[in-house]
């Protein structure tokens, strides 16, 4: 962000707020539907659902899932469970594996 020349990450042409309809048309739809399709036909909130499903498929520990989704883990898991560097590394490796697989599938 230090090298970013605007206050907002997703900015309009003049650097101001990007309207939702413009964001959808210019950024969201092309990202979801072009190249290796990530979430064809998906809506913005659907990313949270997709992300949670990917974490579950990859058997990522619940404590890391909750942290990534901004939730608070209750009960014994919340008291004694802590995210470790090994968990984060495993997650990154799994996401990279999936991304690589998507790219290879798109090139066919």
Number of compact structural domains in the chain: 2
Give the CA distances from residue 8 to residues 2, 15, 16, 21, in Å, rounded to whole numbers and listed in that order. 12, 7, 7, 17
Per the domain annotation, does 39 fall within a domain? no
How many angstroms separate the CA atoms of 12 and 8, rounded? 9
31-35, 83-87, 89-93: lowest mean pLDDT where?
A: 31-35
Domain of residue 54 covers 44-107
Per the domain annotation, does 94 fall within a domain? yes
Same domain, 50 and 27: no
106: pLDDT strictly greater than 70: no
User: pTM for this structure?
Assistant: 0.64
Summarised one tens digit per residue, pLDDT across range 4-22 is 777 777 777 787 887 878 7
Per the domain annotation, does 62 fall within a domain? yes
Summarised one tens digit per residue, pLDDT across range 67-77 is 999 999 889 88
């Amino acid at each position: 962000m230090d090298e970013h020349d605007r206050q907002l990450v997703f900015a309009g042409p003049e650097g101001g707020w990007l309207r939702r309809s413009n964001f959808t048309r210019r950024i969201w739809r092309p990202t979801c539907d072009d190249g290796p399709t990530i979430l064809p036909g998906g809506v913005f909130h659907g990313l949270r659902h997709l992300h949670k499903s990917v974490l579950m498929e990859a058997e990522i520990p619940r404590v890391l899932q909750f942290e990534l989704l901004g939730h608070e883990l209750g009960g014994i898991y919340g008291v004694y469970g802590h995210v470790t560097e090994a968990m984060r590394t495993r997650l990154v490796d799994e996401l990279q594996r999936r991304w690589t697989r998507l790219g290879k599938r798109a090139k066919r």
